[in-house]
Amino acid sequence: MAQEISIEAQRFKKVREELGKTQSEFADLLDAGSTTADIERGKKKITGKIVTELLRQFHITRYGYMAIVIINI
């Protein structure tokens, strides 16, 4: 049985793809280890540190990020 991917992980992947980044490049930008593959597969949760870095680098608010997660999936 396939594991259901969380909305947050789906949006995380969509943001990466919209930016034209590989999993490795996005991980480097966010200081998230060597790759974002496990986050995108739902095997690893998105940490507060990663979310904070994502919000800081792309100039959106926490509320804005949550709205994007809810609206765009």
Highest mean pLDDT among 5-14, 17-26, 47-56, 64-73: 17-26
User: Is 2 part of a structural domain of the chain?
Assistant: no
Global pTM reads 0.75
- Tell me which of 68 and 53 has the higher pLDDT: 53
Instruction: Give the C-alpha separation, 73 to 64, whole Å.
Output: 14
- Give whole-number Cα distances, 48 to 1, 9, 25, 41, 71, in Å: 29, 13, 19, 18, 21
User: Is 1 part of a structural domain of the chain?
Assistant: no
Nearest to 13 by CA among 27, 2, 34: 27
Q: 19 is written with which tokens?
A: 């930016």
The per-residue pLDDT for 64 is 56
Mean of pLDDT values over 40-58: 88
DSSP state of 34: S
CATH code for the domain of 16:
1.10.260.40
pLDDT digit string, tens, across residues 13-44: 988 998 899 999 999 999 999 999 999 999 99
Task: Give the domain range for residue 34.
Answer: 7-71
